[in-house]
Amino acid sequence: MTAEQQVPNVDEGKPAGGWSEFFEAVKPLVSAATKIVHEERLGTKTTMRVGGAARIYAEPASVADLQVLLREARAWGGAVLMLGRGSNVIVPDEGVNGLVVSLAHQAWSSFEPREDGRVAVGAGLRLKNLCGLAAKAGLVGFEFLEGIPGNIGGALRMNAGAMGAWMFDVVEDVQLMTRAGEVRTLTQAAMHVGYRHCEELHQGIALGALLRPATRSDAETVKRQMDAYSRKRHESQPREPSAGCIFKNPPGNSAGRLIDESGLKGARVGDAEVSPTHANFIVNRGSATAADVIALVRRVRARVREVKGVDLEPEVLLYGKEWKDVL
Instruction: Identify any residues that bridge with 274 across adjacent strands, giving them in sequence order.
Output: 282
* Alpha-carbon Rg for the chain in angstroms: 20
pLDDT for 8 equals 38
pTM of the full predicted structure? 0.89
pLDDT for 79 equals 94
- Residues of the chain short of pLDDT 70, as ranges, are 1-13, 217-218, 233-234
In this structure, which long-range contacts are made by residues 215-224, counting pairs with CB atoms below 8 Å and at least 24 apart in sequence? 215/140, 215/141, 216/117, 216/138, 216/139, 216/140, 217/138, 217/140, 218/138, 219/135, 219/136, 219/137, 219/138, 221/140, 222/134, 222/135, 222/138, 222/139, 222/140, 222/143, 223/135
Q: H helices then E strands: how many in the chain?
A: 8, 21
Residues known to be catalytic: 196, 245, 315
Helix ranges, 140-254 (H): 152-157, 200-203, 219-236
Sign, Cα dihedral of 79, 84, 89, 94? positive
Helix ranges, 198-252 (H): 200-203, 219-236
State which H helix or E strand residue 39 sits in: strand 35-41
pLDDT for 9 equals 37
Distance, C-alpha 129 to centroid of its chain: 16
* Torsion angles phi and psi, residue 271, rounded to 5: -100, 15
pLDDT for 196 equals 80
d(CA 102, CA 89): 14
Give the end-to-end CA distance of the chain in Å, rounded to a whole number: 22
pLDDT for 237 equals 84
Region of residue 175 (phi > 0: left; psi between -120 and 50: alpha; otherwise: beta) = beta
pLDDT for 258 equals 98
